[in-house]
Chains A and B, each alone.
Chain A
Amino acid sequence: MKLSAFAYPAAASIFLACAAAASAQNGAATIFCDDTGFGCITMQPVVDRYNEEHPDLPVKLETVSYQAILESLPVQLESGEGPDGAIITDLGGLSRFYLDITPYVDAAQFETDYGQTLSWLRGSDPDGAAIFGMPTSLTVNGAYVNKTLFEQAGVPLPEEGATWDDWAVATTKVAEATDTDFPMEMDRSGHRFASFAISQGAELVDDEGRPVVDDGLRNAIEKFKAWHETGVMPMDLWGAVGGATHRELFADFLNANVVFYFGGSWNLGKMDAEVGDLFDWEVAPAPCGPSSCTVMPGGGALVAFKHTEHPEAMGAFINYLSQPENLTEVIAASVEIPASRSVGDAGVEYPGASERTQEALATFSAQVPKMADAAYRFQGWRYQRAMMNSLTTRISQVLNDELTVDEALARIETDVNLAIDAARGNQ
Chain B
Amino acid sequence: MTASMRAGRMLANVAALPARLIEPAMSRVQKTIGIKRMPWIFLIPNLTAVLLFALLPVFINIFYSVTGSDRLYPVDRPFIGMANYETLLDCRNYLQPSTCSRDLFWRALGNSLVFVPTQVVLMIGISLLTAICLNREIRGRGFFRGVFFFPVMLSPVVVALTWQWILQRNGALNGLLESVGLGGINWLVHADTAFAWAVAVTIWAHMGFYTIILLAGLQAIPRDVYEAAKMDSASHWRVFRRITLPLLLPVLLVVFVLCVIRSVQTFDELYVLTGGGPGSATMLMVQYIYEVGFAAQPRNFGLAAAASLLLGLVLLLFTALQLKFSRSARDG
Give every chain B residue within 8 A of A78 (Cβ-Cβ).
71-73, 299
Q: Are the C-beta atoms of A383 and B283 separated by less than 8 Å? A: no
Question: For residues 298 through 336 of chain A, which have their beta carbon under 8 Å from a beta carbon of chain B?
Answer: none
Q: Are the C-beta atoms of B278 and A396 separated by less than 8 Å? A: yes
Compute how far the CA of A389 lies from the CA of B104 in the bound complex, rounded to whole angstroms: 13
Q: Are the C-beta atoms of B297 and A385 separated by less than 8 Å? A: yes
Q: Please give the distance in Å from B289's CB to the nearest CB on chain A.
A: 12
Q: Are the C-beta atoms of B300 and A235 separated by less than 8 Å? A: no
Q: Which 8 A-B pairs have the closest CB atoms?
A: A242-B277, A242-B276, A245-B275, A400-B279, A425-B69, A385-B297, A78-B72, A423-B298
Q: Are the C-beta atoms of A386 and B276 separated by less than 8 Å? A: no
Find the B residue at minimum CB distance from A387: B297
Given A93-B297, A244-B296, A411-B103, A234-B87 contact (CB < 8 Å): no
Besides A402-B280, A419-B300, 6 other CB < 8 A contacts?
A: A71-B294, A236-B168, A389-B297, A396-B280, A402-B107, A425-B80
Q: Are the C-beta atoms of B274 and A242 separated by less than 8 Å? A: yes
Give every chain B residue within 8 A of A426 (Cβ-Cβ).
68, 80
Q: List 26 A-B contacts (CB under 8 A).
A: A75-B294, A75-B299, A235-B278, A236-B168, A236-B169, A236-B189, A240-B194, A242-B274, A242-B278, A242-B280, A243-B276, A243-B280, A245-B277, A257-B170, A383-B297, A389-B295, A396-B277, A396-B278, A397-B279, A400-B281, A402-B279, A402-B280, A418-B87, A422-B70, A425-B77, A427-B80
Q: Contact flags (1/0) for B171-196 with A, using CB distance below 8 Å?
A: 00000000000000010110100100
Q: Are the C-beta atoms of B68 and A235 separated by less than 8 Å? A: no
A74 within 8 A of B: yes
Q: Are the C-beta atoms of B277 and A239 separated by less than 8 Å? A: yes
Compute how far the CA of A247 lies from the CA of B168 in the bound complex, rounded to whole angstroms: 13
Residues of B within 8 A of A (CB): 68-73, 77-78, 80, 83-84, 87, 98, 101, 103-104, 107, 168-170, 186, 188-189, 191, 194, 271, 274-283, 287, 291, 294-300, 302-303
Q: Are the C-beta atoms of B278 and A386 separated by less than 8 Å? A: no
A230 within 8 A of B: no
Find the B residue at minimum CB distance from A419: B298
- Interface contacts (Cβ under 8 Å), in number, total 139
Give every chain A residue within 8 A of B186 (Cβ-Cβ).
235-236, 240
Q: Are the C-beta atoms of A427 and B84 separated by less than 8 Å? A: yes
Q: Are the C-beta atoms of B278 and A427 separated by less than 8 Å? A: no
Give every chain A residue within 8 A of B189 (Cβ-Cβ).
235-236, 239-240
Q: Please give the distance in Å from B291's CB to the nearest CB on chain A.
A: 5
Interface residues of A, CB < 8 Å — how many? 45
Compute how far the CA of A75 lies from the CA of B168 in the bound complex, rounded to whole angstroms: 33
Residues of A within 8 A of B (CB): 71, 74-75, 78-80, 90, 93, 181, 234-236, 239-245, 247, 257, 383, 385-386, 389, 393, 396-397, 399-403, 407, 411, 414, 418-419, 421-427
Give every chain B residue within 8 A of A418 (Cβ-Cβ).
87, 300
Given A245-B275, A400-B279, A240-B188 contact (CB < 8 Å): yes
Compute how far the CA of A80 lies from the CA of B75 in the bound complex, rounded to whole angstroms: 13
Compute how far the CA of A231 lies from the CA of B299 in the bound complex, rounded to whole angstroms: 36
Q: Are the C-beta atoms of B69 and A423 separated by less than 8 Å? A: yes
Compute how far the CA of A243 lies from the CA of B289 in the bound complex, rounded to whole angstroms: 12
Give every chain B residue within 8 A of A402 (Cβ-Cβ).
98, 107, 279-280
Q: Are the C-beta atoms of B70 and A423 separated by less than 8 Å? A: yes
Q: Are the C-beta atoms of A427 and B279 separated by less than 8 Å? A: no
Q: Please give the distance in Å from A77's CB to the nearest CB on chain B.
A: 9
Give every chain B residue within 8 A of A80 (Cβ-Cβ).
73
Q: Are the C-beta atoms of B169 and A234 separated by less than 8 Å? A: yes
Q: Are the C-beta atoms of B277 and A243 separated by less than 8 Å? A: yes
Q: Are the C-beta atoms of B296 and A242 separated by less than 8 Å? A: no
Compute how far the CA of A421 lies from the CA of B276 in the bound complex, rounded to whole angstroms: 26
Give every chain A residue within 8 A of B283 (Cβ-Cβ).
242-243
Q: Are the C-beta atoms of A403 and B98 separated by less than 8 Å? A: yes
Compute how far the CA of A385 lies from the CA of B294 in the bound complex, rounded to whole angstroms: 13
Q: Are the C-beta atoms of B279 and A425 separated by less than 8 Å? A: no
Compute how far the CA of A278 lies from the CA of B84 in the bound complex, rounded to whole angstroms: 55
Find the B residue at minimum CB distance from A402: B279
Q: Are the C-beta atoms of B294 and A397 separated by less than 8 Å? A: no
Find the A residue at minimum CB distance from B276: A242
Q: Please give the distance in Å from B205's CB to the nearest CB on chain A.
A: 20
Q: Are the C-beta atoms of A425 and B169 separated by less than 8 Å? A: no
Q: Are the C-beta atoms of B297 and A386 separated by less than 8 Å? A: yes
Q: Are the C-beta atoms of B275 and A74 separated by less than 8 Å? A: no
Give every chain A residue within 8 A of B194 (Cβ-Cβ).
240
Given A79-B72, A418-B87, A422-B300, A242-B275 contact (CB < 8 Å): yes
Compute how far the CA of A78 lies from the CA of B169 in the bound complex, rounded to whole angstroms: 40
Compute how far the CA of A386 lies from the CA of B104 in the bound complex, rounded to whole angstroms: 15
Given A74-B299, A257-B170, A422-B303, A240-B68 contact (CB < 8 Å): no
Compute how far the CA of A247 lies from the CA of B94 in the bound complex, rounded to whole angstroms: 32
- Contact for A245 among B276, B297, B298, B302, CB less than 8 A: B276
Give every chain B residue within 8 A of A424 (Cβ-Cβ).
69
Find the A residue at minimum CB distance from B101: A414
Give every chain B residue within 8 A of A236 (Cβ-Cβ).
168-169, 186, 188-189
- Contact for B281 among A79, A242, A244, CB less than 8 A: A242
- Contact for B279 among A242, A245, A257, A419, CB less than 8 A: A242
Q: Are the C-beta atoms of A93 and B298 separated by less than 8 Å? A: yes
